[in-house]
């Protein structure tokens, strides 16, 4: 009994005093999202709700720029692209979201297939290269993210670097490669391979890779770091991880190798955006898509990220190869979604996942 008073006091202090520092969230908490309480700039264009599968660390300032440029407030809900896609599918027509800004074509395709996206104006679609938009005009790409082989320059000589991803099944790579089998970028690459090379060739490649005893990692970042640490000699990752990891950990003895044009190893996925058919603020959503695919958004990609602008005429700021030279297999990204379950099945059958 004697001791209960301080304990209760601690718990109370804990919940109340600390809660008091969070005036922001607690006041926000009671109102439903997109509540009609309108801040001053909203008179210009109201508020839009953005479901963003893109990381706040990378695109947070993009949303601030959008509000500054248009006067439209952005309520951003960050999450994992695939989890947000599942959320939108469950919400259906009741979704409070105006736009879905996703990391990859697969997440966008899932919403498009469910008929929850509105068609985009041709003018917006025409801004980007055809390989970076949905065939039905339901979503449009905002930045390109290519697959490469990141390698440790101390462990791999340049003449060893393969022209095709299929060459990685050569026994000379035994025990030297790493990849993230549960990562969606890698799985999309496998789906793309099924699309262009067929299921049998893909299975053969996967079995060949397995025979080379690859090391598996959780994601692209971990794979890249493992290459940097010399844990493995080379890894299959997205092209920009070298730059991201080095910005955090400092210079590493790693370099990107691009497979030949047209090779499944050079697969390029796209981050993109679509407007929900049920959008409460369709005009604001339109302005946002405009912003991302237009000059402000593409300049942001070129200058403030390591990804590829998808509209012609913007040069990336780092030493990544020009997009013209980065030609993946000729496939329709919106068809990729249909191949994903197959890719998952193959990965399971060869024992990668």
Partner 1 sequence: MGIRATATEATARRHRRVPAGLAASAGVVVALVAVAPVYLLVRASEATSSSWDLILRGRTIALTVNTLGLAGAVTAAATALGVTAAWIAVRSDIPARRVWATAFALPLVFPSYVGAFALLAALGPRGLLQGWLEPLGVDRLPDIGGFPGAFLALTLFTYPYVYLVAASALRGVDPTWDEAARTLGRSRWYAFRTVTLPLLRPALAGGSLLVALYVLHDFGAVSLMRFQTFTQAIFLQYKAAFDRTPAAILSLLLVALAIVVVAFEQRARGRARYHRTGAGSGRAPGPVRLGRWRWPALVFSGVVVGVALVLPAGVLLYLLVQGLAEGVPFNLTVGAIGGSAFVSSLGAVGTVAAAVPLAILSARHSGSVGRAAEGAAYVGYALPGLVVALAFVFLTAGTVPWLYQSLPLVVLAYVVLFLPQAVEPLRSGLLQVNPRIEEAGRTLGRTRGQVVRRIVLPALARPALAGAALVCLTAMKELPATILLRPTGFETLATRVWTSASAGLYSRAAVPALLLIAVASLPLWALAGRLGAPEDGR
Region 251-310 residues binding partner 1, contact defined as CB under 8 A? none
Tell me, by CB under 8 A, how many residues bind partner 1. 82
**Least distance (Å) between residue 269 CB and partner 1:** 13
Judged by CB under 8 A, the stretch of 64-72, 223-231, 262-270, 319-327 that binds partner 1 is 223-231
CB of 188 to partner 1, least distance (A): 9
Nearest distance, CB of residue 82 and partner 1, angstroms = 4
Residue 131's nearest CA partner among 340, 306, 323 is 323
Pick the binder of partner 1 from 4, 157, 200, 322 (CB under 8 A).
4
Closest CA to 162 of 260, 15, 274, 297: 260
Chain centroid, CA 28 distance in Å: 28
Q: Which is nearer to partner 1, 56 or 135 (CB)?
A: 56
Nearer to partner 1, 46 or 162 (CB): 46
Candidates 126, 170, 218, 283; binder of partner 1 (CB under 8 A) is 218
Residues with Cβ within 8 Å of 341's Cβ and at least 6 positions away in sequence, in order, are none
CB nearer to partner 1: pick between 85 and 279: 85
Closest distance of CB 326 from partner 1, Å: 22
Q: How far is the CB of 147 from partner 1 (least distance, A)?
A: 16
> Of residues 187, 266, 269, 298, which one binds partner 1 by CB under 8 A?
187
Region of 14-22, 37-45, 124-132, 289-297 interacting with partner 1 (CB under 8 A): 14-22
Report CA-CA distances (Å) from 14 to 7, 19, 23, 65, 299: 10, 8, 15, 37, 46
Whether the Cβ atoms of residue 236 and residue 189 lie closer than 8 Å to each other: yes
How far is Cα 168 from Cα 310, in angstroms, rounded to an integer? 29
DSSP per-residue codes, 77-98: EE--HHHHHHHHHHHGGG---S
β-sheet bridge partners, residue 75:
49
């Amino acid at each position: 009994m004697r001791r209960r008073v301080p304990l209760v006091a601690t718990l109370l202090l804990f919940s109340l005093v600390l809660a008091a520092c969070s005036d922001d969230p607690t006041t926000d908490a009671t109102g439903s999202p997109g509540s009609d309480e309108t801040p001053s700039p909203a008179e210009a264009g109201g508020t839009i709700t953005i479901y963003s599968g893109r990381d706040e660390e990378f695109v947070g300032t993009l949303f601030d720029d959008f509000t500054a440029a248009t006067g439209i407030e952005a309520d951003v809900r960050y999450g994992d692209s695939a989890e947000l896609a599942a959320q939108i599918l469950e919400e259906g027509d009741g979704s409070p979201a105006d736009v879905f800004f996703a990391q990859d074509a697969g997440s966008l395709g899932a919403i498009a297939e469910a008929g929850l996206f509105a068609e985009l104006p041709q003018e917006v679609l025409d801004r980007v290269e055809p390989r970076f938009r949905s065939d039905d005009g339901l979503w449009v790409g905002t930045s390109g993210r290519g697959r490469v082989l990141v390698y440790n320059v101390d462990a791999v000589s340049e003449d060893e670097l393969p022209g095709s991803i299929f060459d990685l099944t050569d026994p000379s790579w035994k025990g030297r490669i790493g990849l993230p089998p549960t990562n969606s970028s890698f799985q999309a690459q496998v789906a793309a391979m099924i699309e262009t090379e067929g299921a049998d060739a893909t299975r053969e490649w996967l079995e060949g890779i397995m025979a080379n005893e690859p090391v598996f990692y959780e994601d692209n970042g971990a794979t890249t770091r493992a290459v940097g640490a010399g844990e493995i000699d080379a890894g299959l990752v997205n092209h920009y991880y070298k730059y991201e990891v080095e910005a955090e950990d400092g210079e590493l003895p790693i370099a990107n190798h691009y497979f030949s044009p047209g090779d499944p190893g050079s697969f390029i996925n796209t981050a993109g955006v679509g407007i929900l058919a049920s959008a409460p603020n369709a005009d604001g959503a339109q302005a946002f898509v405009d912003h991302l695919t237009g000059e402000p958004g593409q300049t942001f990609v070129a200058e403030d990220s390591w990804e590829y602008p998808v509209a012609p005429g913007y040069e990336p700021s780092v030493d990544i190869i020009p997009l013209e030279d980065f030609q993946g297999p000729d496939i329709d990204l919106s068809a990729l979604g249909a191949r994903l379950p197959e890719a998952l099945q193959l990965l399971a059958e060869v024992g990668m996942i």
